[in-house]
Structure 1
Amino acid sequence: MNLGERLARGDETALSECYTAFAPLVRHHASRLVPRHAVDDVVQVVFLDVWRSRRRFDPARGLEPWLLAIARRRAIDLLRAEARHSRRATPLVDAARVPDAGPAVDAACDIRDALAALPAPQRQALVLAHFGQLTQREIAHRLDIPLGTVKARTARGLRRLRELL
């Protein structure tokens, strides 16, 4: 029985083998469609979607085209979500223009600027975690994304903030 047939039957080891075999291809395909910071998120969502929709897979049609079609759809979904988010974003008040603001406000301005420089998904995860005081599980539920994606976005966002600050 080939990999596609095993995957369609729900064999969990087939998913692992599928990831090992096709993740580089999916990553390359996604990198042509989305910004570099979002490629890993797309790859993760693709293989989650592969597992969730394995019963709809027709092994006679080929695994690679099916995976790439899912990757393309997920990349487009991500781009649309980022576009919606950027249209809803409201600018933060520029505290630097307040007279006698002091060093605390300077630090707040630095943090605001660093947050603004982050990719939208990472910024959203950090803002919900720190200002919204939500757990990663609550963020995943609120955004309807996998917990692992929230953890990855948070870690990448914090790493990038450290570089910026």
Structure 2
Amino acid sequence: MEISDEAALDECYRTHAPALRSYLRRFVPAQDVEDMIQVVFADLWRSRRRYDPTRSQAAWVFAIAHRRAIDHLRVRRPATVPLDEVGDPPVRERPVADVLADRDRLGRALAALPHAQRQAIELAYFADLTQREIADRLRVPLGTVKARTTRGLRRLSALLAGLG
């Protein structure tokens, strides 16, 4: 179908607009989809003489839609709020007794872990080392450190759930 008159444009709209809506939802905010469809079809109408009827109309429509969506996203400014207007988040002080109780539970759970798992976790979280640095320090393969850490964290989680 060649887009040479308004009836052809209406038919093109009926054929492609539903799929175009779904396609554009992936790129532009939901509230802008209908506006983008209008922009796409206005652009189709303006460039109708460049359409090659031997080629896929859907490909032509979606190529224009893709370019317009990119243009829309480039121009759009994300909503931001100046940091000085946001302020600091409220500080919630926990009672000292709760902090000490949590620290005690964590210490008991860590002590219950196998030595290799506890060592990997302590080096990662208390010595602030990367897994590569832990592997170098312990002279073990990186995969071993990853496995020890993963198993240890799973076991630690189960132990903490049981203690608390």
Normalising by structure 2, what TM-score?
Answer: 0.47
Normalising by structure 1, what TM-score?
Answer: 0.46
Between structures 1 and 2, the one with greater helix share = 1
Q: Which has the larger radius of gyration?
A: 2
